[in-house]
Structure 1
Amino acid sequence: MFSFEFLPDRYAVCRLAADESLPQWALQNDIGKQQFVSLTWTPDELSVVCRESLVPDNVKSEPDWICMRVAGKLDFSLVGILAKITKYLADAHISVFAVSTYETDYLLIKSAQWPLTLKTLSEAGYKVYPLGDA
């Protein structure tokens, strides 16, 4: 059974035009010090997930997300990890914004749904810890 670590800070999911350059405000010159930043470019948009406090007022964003990650590294041969976790959350009517990296998965949950998320994951047998306490 996997456990989760939730990150400090609140996060925002931002949308920029596809032709915009790398948003330096999202990095704030502390790459490697931040717990989580995600940049995804497509032909239609540039999506940025970063600390809410870094987002300029003029950027289209959806704020107030809590970010948690699957503790430990996930092997590419593992099947259905994200599907299983999100099924529990979907059954409890909890919406999830998921981001996967090479080593693990991150789930962003709106802060209003955080207490229900903790209850749901606990009832499913998962443990959720503050970052560094797992």
Structure 2
Amino acid sequence: MTTYNLARYPERLAVVQLGPGSEVPSWAESSSVFSITATSTETSIICASRSVPAKTRHHRPYTAFAVVPDEGSADFDIASGVTGVLVALLTPLADAGVSVFALSTFGTDWILVHESDADRAEEAWRRSGHTVAPATPA
């Protein structure tokens, strides 16, 4: 099985659900990961948790882990045909009973876990041969 390097980000994140076609609210602060996903039935935002209004439908706090691609790697280029990245990373978490919120960007995969499960997720990955290190500030 292929193993991966992950970066753990320090920010506390929230996953917010808004109605379909919603504008991005002014309180939605960007963080190490800031994502907007819109479908015909909802708009979801991942953002810094510190300013999310209590009456907004959301879950928090989450910790983000990003897969760190090897230098020059095409692992996250969909056209390269690489498969199994998320399976390799999510299987140890499922086995450990850790729930996830996963998303992918053009350059990598992100896995969010509830803050209370972050250390357990890290340990599950290490037992599976993956490495986890604090994220390097950009």
TM-score by length of 2: 0.86
- For residues 54 and 80 of structure 1, the distance between their equivalents in structure 2, rounded to whole angstroms, comes to 36
Residue 41 (structure 1) shift: 0.5
CA contact (8 A) 2:21 2:38 kept: no
2:130 is the counterpart of 1:126: yes
Q: 2:104 — aligned with what?
A: 100
Q: 2:25 — aligned with what?
A: 23
Q: 1:47 — aligned with what?
A: 44
Residue 25 (structure 1) shift: 2.0
Residue 53 (structure 1) shift: 0.8
Q: 1:4 — aligned with what?
A: 6
Residue 92 (structure 1) shift: 1.0
**Per-residue deviation, residues 4-55 of structure 1 (Å, max 9, x unmatched):** 001121111000011321223214xxx6xx3110100011110001111131
TM-score by length of 1: 0.88
- For residues 71 and 99 of structure 1, the distance between their equivalents in structure 2, rounded to whole angstroms, comes to 14
Q: 1:116 — aligned with what?
A: 120
The runs of 5 or more residues in structure 2 that have no matched partner are: none
The runs of 5 or more residues in structure 1 that have no matched partner are: none
**Secondary structure of 1:119's match?**
helix
- For residues 115 and 105 of structure 1, the distance between their equivalents in structure 2, rounded to whole angstroms, comes to 19
**Secondary structure of 2:122's match?**
helix
Q: 1:65 — aligned with what?
A: 62
**Secondary structure of 1:26's match?**
coil
Name the count of aligned residue pairs: 128
CA contact (8 A) 2:15 2:44 kept: yes
Which of the numbers 69, 74, 77 marks the counterpart of 1:75? 77
2:15 is the counterpart of 1:13: yes
